Structure 1
Amino acid sequence: MLGSRTISFLFLFATIFSAVHGCPPSDRAALLAFKAALSEPYIGIFNSWKGNDCCHGWYGVQCDPVHRRVADINLHGISEEPIFQKAHRTGYMTGKISPEICKLSWLSSLTVAEWKGISGSIPACITSLPFLRHIDLTGNKISGELPADIGRLSRLVLLHVADNQIAGQIPRSLTNLTSLAHLDLRNNLIQGTIPSDIGKMKKLSRALLSRNRLQGLIPDSFSAIYRLLVLDLSFNRLSGSIPASLGKMSVLATLNLDGNNLSGTMPASLISSRISSLNVSRNAIEGPIPDAFGPSSYFTVLDLSYNKLKGSLPKSIGSASYIGHLDVSHNHLCGRIPAGPPFDHLDSSSFFANDCLCGKPLKPCR
């Protein structure tokens, strides 16, 4: 039989081992409160959330290896993991994100994405988590507004809240996120204007704001974001002219302004830029297509359709090194369509509904 001193030693050892190698009771309690606010009836991803050590075997939970604190919650409703494959379905979850999650003071990454049925708002207290780097809440039914103090998350690199029902305005503090690289607010109900000082976000590489209710001007300060690779402002209510400075950006490859109320003339800088996918369709842009093409012009997509463009197709367009898809339909263009590339591989839909364009692939010129 074991002596009392041995039993005491083993108990002390077990206590120390649990404290060092397991998650603290406060983190476990916060996770269980987070779980209690959600319901996932089909796959059973929360079935593993049992026992005292939330750092081992709890689906989607990872702990910091040094401090043994919960650092990552990764719950994605569309996954190739065995638990989803075995169920032969994607996930569906209802409920809300409990403010209890804010008690996970070492949390670095929060992904609760593509569950379709999660509603409620983003807890405002989330801005008090000092180590938070990733927030991905894409593909739910989250409503309310973005937290006003979101700019406090100085380490935030990724903010994805696309495909929800988030309303209100873009918080002024958002531009304080100077470490943010990926911003995805697509397909929400966000209104108001884009912050004029968005150029402060120097590390931004993708700014995806399409399919909201944004209005006002496109800030010229976008051009100060030297790492910006993709800018998508399509299907909003933006007005005014397109800033010429966007065409002078060194790495911008995709610019999508489709479906707004933009007016004025087409900046020549966009044609001579390094942009490879340019879409300004469905606006009210006037004047001629700038005669600014050259050997450095390389467009996989150039969509100028559904505007008020006039004049003829520019002569320099034949000098472009490549134009994969060209659409100038539904404008007021006239004159002969040039022969040769890039026109020889395009069909009539690229030129349809202009005032008096002619030549192959349209009717012959007289």
Structure 2
Amino acid sequence: MRLTGDFLATALTLLLTVTSAVHACPPSDRAALLSFKAALNEPHLGIFATWSGTNCCTNWYGITCDPETKRVADIILRGESEDPIFQKTGRTGHMTGSISPSLCRLDRLTTLIIADWKSISGEIPTCIASLPRLRILDLVGNKISGAIPASIGNLSRLTVLNVADNRISGEIPASIVDLKSLMHLELANNKLCGEIPFNIGKLSMMSRALLSRNQLTGSIPSSLANLHRLADLDLSMNRLTGSIPFQLGSIPILSTLNLDSNRLSGKIPTILLSNTGLSILNLSRNSLEGNIPNVFGPKTYLIALDLSYNNLNGSIPKSLSSAKYVGHLDVSHNHLCGAIPKGTPFDRFEASSFCDNDCLCGMPLPTC
């Protein structure tokens, strides 16, 4: 039997239609993305103009699908990027609107990044905590308000939680300590209040915790010492009180510790300054007292040590002269006394590093 040209054309069309449907995202995922899009306005770059057609897995800006299931896996929308669409317009992104709960219908989502759009507002949809596969939640650099969902701890696979530089208020949810896979926690520059969860040390995978510029109160949890992978801890510019837990000095790979601009009191733990892995330490603008521990040595490598604006007394430790490197030192605005040690590294520092103490003397201050 001979096949006519019309029959072949029809058969080919049907085959292409079926093949296209097999490789397209499900209509439910497409509908969820379009509902998400409807709640936002991006007037300059035109990224949502690419969100057309039936297949959201192909050429939809910022959308990636699982190659096997064709379900939406990643939404990556950054307002600051080197992508050609940004270079062509010569500007960073600006987006208004809010994050639609329709995203929660994308139950295979692993990455949700909606970052640095400056003016996205509204709250974090509570249902985001029900996305079972979510590994990255990054909403930095917007105007998102409200609280972090109380059930955030349900996201057992979450490795990155970044909601910094927003207007988020309320307390840090108690359930956050259930994020067993969490490596990066960034909550800086919000309006968070209350205390840091006392058992935050349960987050055994965490390597970075940035909670600065909030309104956090209470003491620094000593359980932080259980975070053996922690390299960066920033609790600065809050309202924390009490003493610095000496246990922080035993964190094996801690390299950056910023506790400045709080209301901390008591003495500087000796073990903290003897931790040779610590390269940046800022304890300035607190109410710390007592002597600066004289525990520096040849393995000390300090990019920056800032102890200014406290109530420290005694003299400057002579052991600092034996340090391998001290890049920046500031002990100004304390009650220190005595001669500033001579030689390296002190011969590189200006008078501002030592000013406004009770009776420090010697170069670069007036002679004793």
Q: TM-score per shorter chain, which class?
A: over 0.9
Which amino acid is the alignment partner of residue 251 of structure 1? I
Q: Deviations over 1:31-86 (max 9, x none)?
A: 00000000001110101000000000101101011111100111100111111111
Deviation at 1:16, TM superposition (A): 3.2
Say yes or no: does 1:249 pair with 2:282: no
1:62 counterpart SS class: strand
The equivalent residue for 1:306 is 309
| Counterpart position of 1:157 | 159
Q: Is 2:215 aligned against 1:219?
A: no
Partner of 1:49: 51
Aligned to 1:317: 320
Equivalents in 2 of 1:88, 1:74: separation in Å?
20
Q: How far 1:19 moved relative to its partner? A: 3.2
**Secondary structure at 1:73 match in 2:** strand
Amino acid at match of 2:296: F
Cα distance in 1 between the residues matched to 2:13 and 2:84? 37
Q: CA RMSD in A?
A: 1.3
Q: CA deviation at 1:3?
A: 6.2
Superposed displacement of residue 314, structure 1? 1.5
Residue pair 1:127, 1:152 contacting (<8 A) in 2 also:
yes
Q: C-alpha offsets along residues 192-213 of structure 1, whole Å, 9 cap, x if unaligned? A: 0000111110110100000000
Q: Give 1:151 deviation, angstroms.
A: 0.4
Q: Percent identity?
A: 60
Q: In the TM superposition, what whole-angstrom CA distance separates every residue of 1:303-338 from its partner, at most 9, and x where no partner exists?
A: 000000001112222122211100000000000001
Contact 1:272/1:296 (8 A) holds in 2: no
Aligned to 2:191, the other structure's residue is in SS state coil
Alignment of structure 1 residues 307-346 onto 2, 5 Å: 307-346=310-349
- Secondary structure at 2:267 match in 1: coil
**In the alignment, is the contact (CA less than 8 A) between 1:117 and 1:141 conserved in 2?**
yes
Residue correspondence of structure 1 range 32-111 to structure 2 within 5 A: 32-111=34-113
Partner Cα distance (1:14, 1:208) in 2: 51
C-alpha distance in 1 between matches for 2:137 and 2:331: 39
Letter in 2 for 1:75: L
> Given the two structures, how large is their TM-score scaled by the length of structure 1?
0.97
Please state if 1:135 is matched with 2:111. Answer: no
Task: Describe the SS at the equivalent of 2:37.
Answer: helix
TM-score by structure 2 length?
0.97
- Contact 1:127 1:147 survives alignment (8 Å): yes
Give the one of 29, 32, 35 matched to 1:30: 32
SS in 2 for 1:237: coil
Corresponding residue for residue 287 of structure 1:
290
Q: Of the candidates 172, 176, 179, which is equivalent to residue 177 of structure 1?
A: 179
Deviations 1:5-24 (A, max 9, x none): 984x5565345323321101
Q: Distance in 1 between matches of 2:28 and 2:5?
A: 33
- Corresponding residue SS for 1:75: strand
Tell me the distance in 1 between the aligned counterparts of 2:231 and 2:243. Answer: 21
Cα distance in 2, alignment partners of residues 270 and 358 from structure 1 = 27
Decide which of 353, 357, 360 is 1:357's aligned counterpart.
360
Mapped to 2, the partners of 1:167 and 1:12 lie a distance apart of 54
3-state SS of 1:263 partner:
strand
1:62-112 residue CA offsets vs partner (Å, 9 max, x unmatched):
101111110011110011111111111111000000000000111110111
Q: Equivalents in 1 of 2:65, 2:177: separation in Å?
A: 30
> 1:285 aligns to what SS in structure 2?
strand
Supply the AA of the counterpart residue of 1:260: N
Query: Which letter maps to 1:323?
Result: V
Partner of 1:201: 203
SS at match of 1:183: strand
The alignment of Structure 1 onto Structure 2 pairs a total of residues equal to: 364
Contact 1:236 1:260 in 2 (8 A): yes
Match of 2:171, SS state, is: coil
Equivalent of 1:146 in 138, 145, 148: 148
Secondary structure in 2 matching 1:50: coil
**SS where residue 87 of structure 2 aligns?**
helix
**8 Å CA contact retained: 1:138, 1:162:** yes
Match for residue 276 of structure 1 among 268, 276, 279: 279
What is the SS of the residue equivalent to 2:287?
Answer: coil
Distance 1:352 1:13 in 2: 81
